[in-house]
Amino acid sequence: MLMDWLLETNEPWTRYRVRRDLLGQAEDDSAVVLARAMMLAHPQVQGLIVKAASWPGGALRRHNDASHPLNALSVLDDFGMRQDDPGMSMVVESLLAHQSPEGAFQTLLNISTAFGGAGQDQWSWILCDAPTILSGLLAFGLNQDGRVQLAVQHLLSSFRENGYPCAAAVELGRFRGPGRKSDPCPVANLFALKTLSLLPDQMNSPAAQAAGSALLECWERRVEKKPYLFGMGTDFRRLKYPYIWYDILHVAEVLSRYPYLHADARFREMLDIITAQADGAGRYTASSMYQSWKGWSFADKKHASPWITFLVLRMQKRITS
């Protein structure tokens, strides 16, 4: 059976999340406690904590750099790490150390002069990295921290009627991403919507509704309108993890967190494309991968991945609950 396969995997992070999110077992259930303890002790998870704690780990030059600590942070968030887990306090302190006057948490960036940047390392923020830091801090349990609340308010004040634009700190000067200035940025809306899903009182906010609508409209108009860097063709439809950039698994995961979007035909179409990729046993295999994550089941195109299978099953469970 599929559930037996998931519970017998050698991935404790998968066993932990399956028990919590698919089986609904309590955090203090003995099997959940054991799975979580094994996850925390696992060498690969320990490696992720070390990676995240190396923040900033060098300047971020492109936002889909899979090897950057920003993405180790994102995976720890997905696994369910908390601020009081061993090693996580150093991660949290590093992330909180750099915050802009506007409220957004900063990343060490190096933006080429060809894109309007200074071509040198500087602490700053763009809407395609700041929400990932905020999302991690919220997931780790820092909802009530004043600095985190300031970042939340900044995110809530940054959307427009048609969603989140490509926005950046004033010190980045002429930098702006591709597309027209009035266009919503697909990936900024994706990361913003993901972050807002961790704030129960913002799930139906104007910001969340605008971001969700922007993502669904991008899908609906994918043939007639193809935003530079954010096309939704063959590559977009491949199953890929971690959730680093703009692809179908990432978009569907975030949209699935919003119950009022479950009946939307555009979201359902994306989910159908994903579920059509299951094998005869209902398992899912990565059809694209990040080389820097080689060694994880979700970066193996030859064998079914328990983690990707779990992610798809959790989306399906959300829309039937």
Do 262 and 141 sit in the same domain of this protein?
yes
Q: Domain of 35?
A: 1-41
Do 7 and 105 sit in the same domain of this protein?
no
What is the per-residue pLDDT for 114? 67
CA 201 – CA 67 distance, rounded (Å): 33
Give the domain-ending residue among 41, 56, 72.
41
Q: What is the pLDDT of residues 199-241, one digit of tens each?
A: 999 999 999 999 999 999 999 988 887 666 678 889 999 999 9
Length of the chain: 321
Do 35 and 99 sit in the same domain of this protein?
no
Do 232 and 267 sit in the same domain of this protein?
yes
Do 34 and 120 sit in the same domain of this protein?
no
What is the per-residue pLDDT for 182? 74
Do 80 and 198 sit in the same domain of this protein?
yes
The domain that contains 261 carries what CATH number?
Answer: 1.50.10
Nearest to 142 by CA among 192, 100, 92: 92
Do 90 and 138 sit in the same domain of this protein?
yes
Do 222 and 294 sit in the same domain of this protein?
yes
Do 19 and 135 sit in the same domain of this protein?
no
Do 176 and 290 sit in the same domain of this protein?
yes
**Vertex 115, ends 112 and 120: CA angle to 5°?**
25
Which residue ranges of the chain lie beneath pLDDT 50?
none
What is the per-residue pLDDT for 126? 92
Domain count, the chain: 2
CA 138 – CA 160 distance, rounded (Å): 23
Do 291 and 243 sit in the same domain of this protein?
yes
Q: What is the pLDDT of residues 10-39, one digit of tens each?
A: 999 999 999 999 999 999 999 999 999 999
